[in-house]
A and B are shown apart, each in its own frame.
Chain A
Amino acid sequence: MQQDTPADIQNRLPLLAGFIVLFAVVLFFRLWYLQVVKGASYQELAENNRIRPIKLRPPRGIIYDRNGKPMVENVLTFDVSLVPEDATSLEGTITKLSSIVRMKPEAIKQALDDAEDVRGKYEPVKIVEEAPWDEVALVEARQEDLPGVIIEPEHRRHYPYGGMASHQFGYIGKVTQTQKKYEQADTGMLVGQGGLEKTYDKLLRGTAGRRMIQVNASGKKVKDLGIDEPKPGTDIFLTIDLDVQRAAEDALGTRAGAVVAMDPNSGEVLALVSHPTYDPNLFPRGISPRDWVKLSNDPSHPLYNRAVQSVYPPGSTFKIVVSLAGLDSGKIDPKDTVTCTGSLRTGRKVFRCWKKGGHGVVNFHKALVESCDVYFYTMGDRMGFDHVAEYARKLGLGSKTDIVLADEKPGLIPTAAWKRERVREPWYPADNFMNSIGQGFVLVSPIQAAQMIGAVANGGVFYRPQLLRKTRNRETGTEKVYDSVEKRRTVFDAAALAEVRSALLGVTSESGGTAHGAATPLATVAGKTGTAQVIAQKTPGGKLTESTQDHAWFIGYAPADAPKIAVAVVVEHGGHGGAAAAPVAKKVIEEYLRDAGTKTAQ
């Protein structure tokens, strides 16, 4: 190997050494200048003129309905907070403050102790949230006297309609420790904890700003250094129509249940109701433990979004599925007749029709219009329930609709294989009977029912139920419109569909139809009632208490010839579908169609 002398390189090394020494000397003098010459004045800056960043929380995005009416807003409130480090005498400040805000000094100390572990140095501790005006004014006036006490403006979430549509909005609350990691949020920040507030939290949240102030040794503001304005969250426009939502809420009244209304031509959700409701205004400033226990232990489960999280036996509304399964595949001829004597016997068991005296001789049309159980026992048994189950799945039952709300339940469409595995029993003919009239194992959620009847109305197109219509950046005005998403298209035999639709129209209009309560002079309504038994057997002669009363269903669409709205209504323990649920659907349909000519969504 060549051993060349590195002499010429080594001759240049003093250059590097010189560079090192030179910079060290420069640094030395700089330190001397800063620390020795100017040290005292920097000391003063550090001690007396402290720069304090004050976090400015952004207002969350406003939630509007499809016509631009605000459904969730913010109101400006003022909090009284304390920066313990700035209080010259903490005891003194606490005593004076307690007389102004009408709190015991111990309560203020408790608030400070609670915050001690989580807050950073010089981070204010909230003493009174949403302080009343007189207290704010007093604190401002006596600022000199209250070192360390500050007034913090906050945009507080406000739900002007209280419990209305509360299950869509969810609620907001302080970010939890585990969320902090993933949501890039800081301590004390309010983030969506459920519903749309959670789903679109990143959009709604906005970006925090800060104000820099210089304070003196006693924490008093000396100078405003400037403000880095917070960026408000993005406003969102829902597909919900406030008026339709309100009509549905009012029609349901105090009864427990759910209503879903959709535009069958786009999947846009026009109204989504779950009763009982809760007031989301309880949450933004931290719900009290008592209120929380009350809400979560309430036997009527007000926090539950029944429209997507509850599944019910569909009752006779399921006969639509059996009808399509028969007519589309040709296994039922609409001219076939069944004689209903009021019951059907198989083996040792007797299955009753809801009409004691029987319907007599019924063909398909009459059977669906009058909801004859014996006809559907017979047809369901003839086809076998696995065949019906196949159509149920084609109609979107048994799987989630993928609406953006959390914890949607898929419901249940049983098959013989499922029963063998889960119940460890074979599939009996009785299972064909019961499931064909929507009893037994079948479970459907209100949103699924609305999607299904919408697909019957539009001829087999399945849309993802849509809640977000558009977003708008408040600062730039830029809008982003969200188009409807078509999930799939199922082609049904046109004659079969026409046959089913004609019977559904008959339900509200022909004599013997079960849902005259849904009929309206504004448009033709097509639909189907359902009365789902809560318990299989009633004690003979025993009076039904409310909790054992049947669930009432109505699903339908209008106008029958050119559908604009599809509705699903469940009234828990409401009794008969035609009496309890159909009138609710009527109110919803009327509200939407009444304005449909004048009020087209922009």
Chain B
Amino acid sequence: MLERRLLSNVPWGMVALIIGIALIGLSAVYSATYTPSGPSSLFTKQVIWVCLGIMVMFAALIPDYHTVGRYAYVVYALSIFFLILVALIGRTGMGAQRWLPLGPFAFQPSELAKLSLVLALARYFAEDPRRGGYELRDLLIPGGMVLVPLVLVMKQPDLGTALMLMFTTTLIVILAGIKFRSVMAVIVLGAVVASAVFLVPPVRHKIWTSLKPYQQKRIKAFINPASDPLGSGYHATQAKIAVGSGQTTGKGFRKGTQSQMAFLPERHTDFIFAVIAEERGFLGASFLIVLYMVLLLVGVDAAKSAKDKMGTLMAGGIVSMLSLYVFINTGMAVGLLPVVGVPLPLVSYGGTSIITTFLAIGLLLNIRSRRFMLFY
């Protein structure tokens, strides 16, 4: 009985939208990884990841999301455990220690950390009986909850994920409600810290030298791309050339000269949007943006129609996280934001990212599907 009602409440339009985006992603990965001797094995892997992801998404529909909420802290603790593990025995790649070897695959705990933090924060605020906005001191516990994974992720170092954790938390806190004067206090505090960093030379120097050389280069190159046309400025410049040269209708599937010629670095992961923009043009790229916008707005609606605080916060948190992913990644590809390693949800190559994104979206569907139910 219950099952059938649940099934009829599943927003199938939203499911179609999700699978549509994933298919666009697969075609882009196919093109970006194509080798002279045929499709790359990376593409085959990505197909497997997407299929697994879709299964995970439907599996995430089955348990009541309150049950998920009950395990939120356990999942959070588990993800912290994995982050510590990766710091101890993780596999290093591209100058950072991010992966846990898992047989033939590698698991990236920082991806799980993002989702588990959203769930844990949603549960914390949902169970907090306070009304009428939070003072700063009320945010000590959630602050601690974000700080632990933040420090661990910074250590790897993974600036992109660290920023994601910070921004997502900020959005969730705003949703949960914060007093106006607390916001002001944060702004003032931030201004003080920022001016200390930028205006006091010893502090600035200390922070600057604590960054990895490649991070320093990226920041420099964002401020002045011409300063380093070979290094990270190169990434940004090449991405812009790729996007721009796509023009209105694009160069066509597998015809993107920039991406096919390997000028574009990280083209199947962080810069996949530039590949799409080059090959599908303005029409294709903005169509994808519209798809994302609709998906995210349906997500906001799911939060709005949720029957309780837990559902609203969980859905709101997931939508916040996904929006940040989408906009930071695309913003970077079109040169609006500095180059940080953040995947494009459902599209970028990467097993852990694909699976956790589908899991997050499955929870969103879960909340949406149970909007008419009563809980006792």
List chain A positions with a Cβ less than 8 A from chain B: 1-4, 6, 8-10, 12-13, 15-17, 19-21, 23-24, 26-28, 30-32, 34-36, 38-43, 45-47, 50-51, 53, 116-117, 120-122, 210, 212, 225-226, 228
**Which B residue sits closest to A41, measured CB to CB?**
B244
A43 to B249, alpha carbons, bound, how many Å? 12
B167-197, CB < 8 A from A: 171, 174-177
Where chain A touches its partner, the secondary structure class is helix
A20 to B176, alpha carbons, bound, how many Å? 18
A15 to B297, alpha carbons, bound, how many Å? 11
Most chain B Cβ neighbours within 10 Å, of A10, A40, A50, A117: A10
On chain B, the number of residues with a Cβ less than 8 Å from chain A's Cβ atoms is: 63
List chain B positions with a Cβ less than 8 A from chain A: 36-37, 129, 131, 171, 174-177, 229-231, 234, 237-238, 240-248, 257-258, 260-263, 277, 281-282, 285-286, 289-290, 292-293, 296-297, 300, 303-304, 306-309, 311-313, 316, 319-320, 323, 327, 330-331, 334-336, 375-376
6 smallest beta-carbon distances between A and B, as pairs: A42-B244, A39-B247, A46-B245, A35-B282, A6-B312, A24-B293
| CB pair A34 B334 closer than 8 Å | yes
Most chain B Cβ neighbours within 10 Å, of A3, A21, A43, A46: A46
B345 CB to nearest A CB, Å: 13
Q: A3-B375, A39-B247 are in contact. Are A20 and B293 (CB under 8 A)?
A: yes
| CB pair B257 A47 closer than 8 Å | yes
Question: Which B residues touch A120, using CB under 8 A?
Answer: 262
**Which A residue sits closest to B285, measured CB to CB?**
A31
Q: A12-B175, A20-B300 are in contact. Are A228 and B245 (CB under 8 A)?
A: no
Q: A4-B309, A6-B308, A23-B327 are in contact. Are A35 and B290 (CB under 8 A)?
A: no
Selected A-B contacts with CB under 8 Å, 30 pairs: A2-B129, A6-B311, A8-B177, A9-B175, A9-B316, A10-B304, A17-B297, A17-B300, A20-B323, A21-B297, A23-B323, A24-B292, A27-B330, A30-B334, A32-B282, A34-B243, A34-B335, A35-B277, A39-B248, A42-B245, A42-B247, A43-B245, A45-B241, A46-B241, A46-B242, A47-B245, A50-B261, A117-B36, A212-B229, A226-B229
Question: Which A residues touch B247, using CB under 8 A?
Answer: 35-36, 39-40, 42-43
A34 to B244, alpha carbons, bound, how many Å? 5
| CB pair A121 B261 closer than 8 Å | yes
Question: Which B residues touch A9, using CB under 8 A?
Answer: 175-177, 309, 312-313, 316
Question: Which A residues touch B293, using CB under 8 A?
Answer: 20-21, 24
A19 to B297, alpha carbons, bound, how many Å? 10
User: A38: which of B238, B244, B257 is its contact (CB, 8 Å)?
Assistant: B244
Question: Which A residues touch B313, using CB under 8 A?
Answer: 6, 9
| CB pair A35 B248 closer than 8 Å | yes
| CB pair B261 A122 closer than 8 Å | yes
Question: Which B residues touch A40, using CB under 8 A?
Answer: 247
Question: Which A residues touch B277, using CB under 8 A?
Answer: 31, 35
| CB pair B376 A1 closer than 8 Å | yes
Question: Which B residues touch A225, using CB under 8 A?
Answer: 229-230
A17 to B293, alpha carbons, bound, how many Å? 9
Question: Which B residues touch A117, using CB under 8 A?
Answer: 36-37
A358 CB to nearest B CB, Å: 71
**Which B residue sits closest to A46, measured CB to CB?**
B245
Q: A212-B229, A225-B229 are in contact. Are A46 and B257 (CB under 8 A)?
A: yes
**Which B residue sits closest to A37, measured CB to CB?**
B244
Question: Which B residues touch A6, using CB under 8 A?
Answer: 306-309, 311-313
A19 to B299, alpha carbons, bound, how many Å? 13
A1 to B64, alpha carbons, bound, how many Å? 15
A34 to B277, alpha carbons, bound, how many Å? 10
Question: Which B residues touch A210, using CB under 8 A?
Answer: 230
**Which B residue sits closest to A34, measured CB to CB?**
B244
A228 to B174, alpha carbons, bound, how many Å? 46
Where chain B touches its partner, the secondary structure class is helix
Q: A19-B171, A34-B335 are in contact. List 18 more A-B contacts (CB 8 A).
A: A1-B375, A6-B306, A8-B177, A9-B177, A12-B177, A16-B175, A16-B303, A20-B300, A23-B327, A32-B282, A32-B286, A34-B244, A38-B244, A39-B245, A42-B245, A47-B245, A117-B37, A212-B234
B246 CB to nearest A CB, Å: 6
User: B240: which of A2, A42, A116 is its contact (CB, 8 Å)?
Assistant: A42
Question: Which A residues touch B312, using CB under 8 A?
Answer: 6, 9-10, 13
B99 CB to nearest A CB, Å: 16
User: A42: which of B241, B285, B296 is its contact (CB, 8 Å)?
Assistant: B241
Q: A27-B289, A31-B282, A51-B238 are in contact. Are A19 and B175 (CB under 8 A)?
A: no
| CB pair A10 B303 closer than 8 Å | yes
| CB pair B289 A28 closer than 8 Å | yes
A67 to B285, alpha carbons, bound, how many Å? 66
Question: Which B residues touch A27, using CB under 8 A?
Answer: 289, 327, 330-331, 334, 336
**Which A residue sits closest to B312, measured CB to CB?**
A6
| CB pair B336 A26 closer than 8 Å | yes
A3 to B307, alpha carbons, bound, how many Å? 9
A50 to B257, alpha carbons, bound, how many Å? 10
B182 CB to nearest A CB, Å: 14
A120 to B36, alpha carbons, bound, how many Å? 9
Question: Which A residues touch B330, using CB under 8 A?
Answer: 27
Question: Which A residues touch B262, using CB under 8 A?
Answer: 120-122
User: A36: which of B282, B289, B311 is its contact (CB, 8 Å)?
Assistant: B282
Question: Which A residues touch B286, using CB under 8 A?
Answer: 28, 31-32
| CB pair B320 A16 closer than 8 Å | yes
Question: Which B residues touch A122, using CB under 8 A?
Answer: 261-262
A585 to B178, alpha carbons, bound, how many Å? 88
A462 CB to nearest B CB, Å: 37
A24 to B326, alpha carbons, bound, how many Å? 10
A21 to B327, alpha carbons, bound, how many Å? 11
User: A45: which of B231, B245, B282, B316 is its contact (CB, 8 Å)?
Assistant: B245
Question: Which A residues touch B336, using CB under 8 A?
Answer: 26-27, 30
| CB pair B246 A35 closer than 8 Å | yes
A122 CB to nearest B CB, Å: 6
Question: Which A residues touch B129, using CB under 8 A?
Answer: 2, 4
Question: Which A residues touch B237, using CB under 8 A?
Answer: 51
B263 CB to nearest A CB, Å: 7
| CB pair B244 A43 closer than 8 Å | yes
| CB pair A12 B245 closer than 8 Å | no
Question: Which B residues touch A24, using CB under 8 A?
Answer: 289-290, 292-293
User: B281: which of A21, A35, A226 is its contact (CB, 8 Å)?
Assistant: A35
